[in-house]
Amino acid sequence: AEGEGQRDLLKAVAHILGIRDLAGINLDSSLADLGLDSLMGVEVRQTLEREHDLVLSMREVRQL
């Protein structure tokens, strides 16, 4: 179940960033490296909080 949650989380974040091909992303890249802007950051943060009970600062979101 934990692996499923991680996949769901990755899919949700990729969707917000407009990434269609998850296989093509470097897992060592931060969200900022992948093109995260401030509005996307807010959306990622809200999604993490709402759907995964993860509360992160904007700085932490950018470093994901």
Answer yes or no: are the C-beta atoms of 34 and 1 closer than 8 Å: no
pLDDT (tens digit per residue) in 14-58: 999 999 988 888 878 999 999 999 999 999 999 999 988 999 999
CA distances for 34 relative to 1, 7, 14, 47, angstroms: 27, 18, 9, 18
The phi-psi region of residue 58 (left if phi > 0; otherwise alpha if psi is between -120 and 50; otherwise beta) is alpha
Interatomic CA distance for residues 19 and 40, integer angstroms: 12
Q: What is the pTM for the complete model shown? A: 0.83
Domain architecture of the chain: domains with CATH: 2-63 (1.10.1200.10)
1 pLDDT band (50/70/90 cuts)? low
